[in-house]
Amino acid sequence: MNTVMMENRKNRIHPHKFTLWVGIGSILMMFAGLTSAFIVKRNQANWLSFDIPVAFWYSTVVIIASSFTLLSALKAFKERQMKKYKGLLLVTLILGVLFVTIQTLGFLKLWQQGITLQANVAYSFLYVIVGIHAVHVVGGIVALVIMLAKSFSTKIRTYNLVPVELLNTYWHFVDILWLYLLLFLIMIK
């Protein structure tokens, strides 16, 4: 009987992981709604298409690289290589900030070309969809800062894998979401 209870505990998902997956589901629903609205609205007579800024391609390379560094950080954490873990976490943080910076530069270039929020509803969708994604990346950056600060703390000496796994899941989700959004914007314009 005791073995059955232990087996049931092992098969349960951690409450934090469950909460994260619910949040990811909500985010997916929001972006599904936004991309659906984009498809419906593009049939309007005054719809203007736009070219994706080159900066978005560079930022894509950066966010993909950040996923690899964070995956390596998780591996280092599991192997208790804390110095390597901290270094990879820092590199991921820098890449995350670089992603947002490059995206901002891409939008500044669009703005200079007259592709502004007020110019056309198509441009408004671009700013909203990519802007909301950037907000989610900033949320991941905040989590990276917290995890990095905790990794340097002298008070905490436990090796709890759950927060590191949560950060990985969220960051990879945001990465995959960006790839979807970029492909969507390229294919639908």
Residue 28 pLDDT more than 80?
yes
Helix or strand (DSSP H, E) at 167 = helix 161-188
Angle of CA points 71, 75, 81, to nearest 5°: 130
Sequence spans of domains, the chain:
2-188
pLDDT at 11: 72
Among the CATH numbers 3.40.50.2000, 1.10.8.640, 3.40.605.10, 1.20.120.80, which is that of 2-188?
1.20.120.80
Give the pLDDT confidence of 99-111 residue by residue, as tens digits.
999 999 998 988 8
How far is residue 182's CA from residue 50's CA, in Å, rounded to a whole number? 13
**What pLDDT digit, counting tens, does each position of 112-167 carry?**
887 776 767 778 888 898 899 999 999 999 999 999 998 887 776 677 888 999 99
